[in-house]
Amino acid sequence: MSDQNVRNAGFTPSGISGGSLASSMMSREARGSGGGVHSGGPTSTLQEMGARGTTHSSGFTSRGISGGTPASHMMSQEAKSHGGGTPRGGTTSTVQSI
């Protein structure tokens, strides 16, 4: 995952950019959860990466998720909580797609 992709999606050090993919994601996630964006969800995870200004060593790569990284841990935790698979639209798949 490149820093530029995260910024282009609207996740920036100064917050989520209005009218961006990030703001659309945040809106959908908030509506789906009854009005808030959960810590550890796709929006908060990507915003954390955008705020830090770096995605290096996160483990999300153009070739997939690298073993032994925060991304692989996230995928494992999400799979455990969903009975063995990572759901489409979940944190791992959303972050990996960006």
The percent of residues above 90 in pLDDT, for the chain, comes to 12
**Average pLDDT for the chain:** 84
Residues 72 and 7: their CA atoms lie apart, in Å, by 22
Residues 28 and 59: their CA atoms lie apart, in Å, by 25
Q: What integer pLDDT is reported at residue 98 of this predicted model?
A: 79
**Which residues form the domain of 88?**
1-96
List the structure tokens of 81: 């909580």
pLDDT in tens, 32-51: 888 888 887 788 888 888 88
Residues 39 and 45: their CA atoms lie apart, in Å, by 8
Which has more pLDDT, 80 or 56? Answer: 80
Longest pairwise C-alpha distance within the chain: 36
pTM: 0.69
Domain count across the chain? 1
